[in-house]
Structure 1
Amino acid sequence: MKIMVYEVRPDEQADLEQQAALHGVELAVTDAVPTLENAALAAGCAGVSILGQGRIDAALLDAFYAQGVRYLSTRTIGYDHIDLDHARSIGLRVCNARYDPNGVADFTVMLILMCLRHYKQALWRGQVNDFSLAGLQGREMKDLTIGIIGTGRIGAQVARNLSGFGCRLVAYDLRQNPALEGMVTYVDFDGLLSQSDVITLHMPLLDSNRHLINRETIAKMRDGVVIINCSRGEMADIEALIEGIETGKIGALGMDTVEGDEGIIHADHRVDILPNRNWFYLHQFRNVIMTQHMAFYTDAAVASMVSCGIGGICAMAAGEPCPTELTPPAV
């Protein structure tokens, strides 16, 4: 079996070679983002593996299917970039990836601490030999209430990490996680907004929670709230975030992903002119930390993503159970 692998990063190469040998498959690789223009690269391939920079819409799925592709894997946990309904309708089976939650959870705590201790400004000053303290007085987590929106694998690990800091933890989720009993207090959504000094997002992006953070929800938050997003950028309305920072309602942002970051993250744009005004305007505030969608980026996570990407296609093709399959065939 041959698999076309798009969006290959150099750090994935060794793991891809290992997976090809393990499963006895042939891999064709490119660093290109999948588009209609390069869909023909998948000709003769039973499977296609992607990352998350392209929009895998109905037209592109049809193009892959016409090339003989019957299996698609995304080497990401998120799958909102794929039209799953259309994939299901044409019989193209799709799976995503899994990796341990520790990397993203650790990164979340790091962003919280950096925001609370004004580290962006401190770092900038230190680079020009300004070691003054004015404006850098921080807060201690033991004195704060931290709200966790979404208590699945990653949100639960964030709670475990934070439990050692002595802060009060509240959480909101449609389904309470029994493993967190005694560690967090579940409240309703408005209760979390009004009680939390820090709010951190850990939910998959769905139509129901797109722009969950908006002008109305920000208005219900405490003055000076810190918002952390290591989930999906579209969960927060970027214009509402800008307004919140400008008015001082939001005290700081720690954002590993921001609405509109497609085509910006994971690439070097030092000599480019980029048109996304909102993204770069938000980026320049002294109390806004924006990283390049790298919370997931550890050696263990990359190996797991590649393993799921190739192994998932092989499992689906062999008729074996694929625990990360998103569009199983109709029974």
Structure 2
Amino acid sequence: MYCFREFDEKEFFDELVGKYGYTYGYTAEHPNLKNAKLAEGYDAVSVTVCDFNAKLLDCFRELGVKYVATRSIGYDHIDIQHAKKIGMKVSHVSYEPDSVAEYTVMLMMMGCRRICHILDRARIQDFSLKGKLGKDLGDCTVGVIGTGRIGMAVIKYLKAFGCRVLVNTSHQKEELSGLVEYTEFDTLLKESDIITLHASASKENYHLIDKKAFDIMKNGVMIVNTARGTLIDTDALIDALEKGKVSHAALDVIENEYGLYYINRMGNCIINRQMAVLKSFPNVILSPHTAFYTRKVVSNMVEKAIQCICDMEKNVENPLIIT
């Protein structure tokens, strides 16, 4: 197995060598056509979120790689249809939901209490109170879009704060009985003070939150996204922020982030105008796709990726194997 991005995960790969009996190589670089030869002679490559397109898949296939194991829940960064076409197996991972759920609630609280604004003024020793008045999270109605493991964990945390929680889904879950109100999608948009996204990236969910959705929302709504950037039409979000429709946005993910996050870009001119506009707003929090990033989750991701590679090699059924 050849692993891309090693600096924070190597200790976990080393710990599991004895348990799974594999050999591996590693690099801190993202996979690309220039460094793909590093994986020559290996049966599998393991990657994090990156642009894993058809050309890159072909390149690795020609080098003898049979399996791609992404150490992420989402796998929309991989051209799955092309992987199927060339007979390359692909897997993803799952991990405990609490890390992302806790981060999501943290972002909500930061927005509710205007913490970035408070800290910016504290740095210049402006300790006056004007303009710092916040609101209690427990007084908010929160619309949760996506009720997978992370969405459900977020809901349980929110109920501990006393929030009213709205959910729109075609499949009601027994675990959420008594915790949420099931509503129409437009009702969720119209009545929520905070909307948090936990849906998967798919063709059906592309730009789920678009101009029409923002128009339905109440004035002063907060948007939180710790799922995938493509769920939100960024231009529509920017317009809603400029008009004051959205009072705060807290985004751990954005559109077109591949090749941007997880790399030291100090001193670079970043070619992402939407990101530049969002960074200019004082009521927008951008974090670089780090909601998952705890020791427990990184350890989970590494072991699940290794398990999947072993299962793909042995043709063992595993729900995390995509192709």
Same fold (TM over 0.5): yes
SS at match of 2:132: coil
Preserved contact between residue 109 and residue 162 of structure 1 (Cα < 8 Å): yes
Aligned to 1:196: 192
Aligned to 1:109: 105
What are the equivalent positions in structure 2 for 1:133-172 lying under 5 Å apart? 133-172=129-168
For 2:172 and 2:242, the matched residues in 1 are separated by 35
Preserved contact between residue 108 and residue 137 of structure 2 (Cα < 8 Å): no
Which of 210, 217, 220 is residue 221 of structure 1 equivalent to? 217
For 2:260 and 2:317, the matched residues in 1 are separated by 36
Is 1:287 paired with 2:310? no
SS at match of 2:144: strand
Is 1:45 paired with 2:42? yes
SS at match of 2:2: strand
How far the C-alpha of 1:156 sits from its partner, in A, is 0.3
Aligned to 1:212: 208
Aligned to 1:301: 297
For 1:169 and 1:14, the matched residues in 2 are separated by 40
Moved more, 113-122 or 255-264: 255-264
Preserved contact between residue 7 and residue 34 of structure 1 (Cα < 8 Å): no
SS at match of 1:26: coil
Which of 2, 5, 12 is residue 3 of structure 2 equivalent to? 5
Amino acid at match of 2:305: G
Preserved contact between residue 260 and residue 279 of structure 1 (Cα < 8 Å): no
For 2:259 and 2:131, the matched residues in 1 are separated by 34
Moved more, 297-306 or 262-271: 262-271
For 1:172 and 1:283, the matched residues in 2 are separated by 31
How far the C-alpha of 1:173 sits from its partner, in A, is 2.4
For 1:264 and 1:111, the matched residues in 2 are separated by 21
Preserved contact between residue 151 and residue 176 of structure 1 (Cα < 8 Å): no
Amino acid at match of 1:5: C
How far the C-alpha of 1:157 sits from its partner, in A, is 0.3
Aligned to 1:58: 54
For 1:261 and 1:134, the matched residues in 2 are separated by 36
What are the equivalent positions in structure 2 for 1:83-102 lying under 5 Å apart? 83-102=79-98
Aligned to 2:75: 79
Amino acid at match of 2:34: E
Preserved contact between residue 143 and residue 167 of structure 1 (Cα < 8 Å): yes
How far the C-alpha of 1:226 sits from its partner, in A, is 0.3
What are the equivalent positions in structure 2 for 1:215-294 lying under 5 Å apart? 215-294=211-290
SS at match of 2:161: coil
Moved more, 89-98 or 300-309: 89-98
Which of 12, 16, 19 is residue 15 of structure 1 equivalent to? 12
- What is the root-mean-square deviation in Å for CA atoms of aligned residues? 1.3
What is the TM-score of this pair, normalised by structure 2? 0.97
Aligned to 1:120: 116
Runs of at least 5 residues in structure 1 that lack an aligned partner in the other structure: none
Moved more, 55-64 or 190-199: 55-64
For 1:177 and 1:82, the matched residues in 2 are separated by 30
How far the C-alpha of 1:77 sits from its partner, in A, is 0.5
Describe the superposition over 1:249-308 as per-residue Cα deviations: whole angstroms up to 9, x where unpaired: 001001111113233322332211222222022012111111111100011000001111
How far the C-alpha of 1:84 sits from its partner, in A, is 1.1
How much identity, in percent, do the aligned residues show?
A: 39
How far the C-alpha of 1:69 sits from its partner, in A, is 1.3
Moved more, 129-138 or 292-301: 129-138
Preserved contact between residue 15 and residue 303 of structure 1 (Cα < 8 Å): yes
What is the TM-score of this pair, normalised by structure 1? 0.94
For 1:186 and 1:26, the matched residues in 2 are separated by 49
For 2:199 and 2:319, the matched residues in 1 are separated by 19
Describe the superposition over 1:18-63 as per-residue Cα deviations: whole angstroms up to 9, x where unpaired: 222321111010112112222222211111111112x212222122
For 1:74 and 1:180, the matched residues in 2 are separated by 30
Amino acid at match of 1:18: E
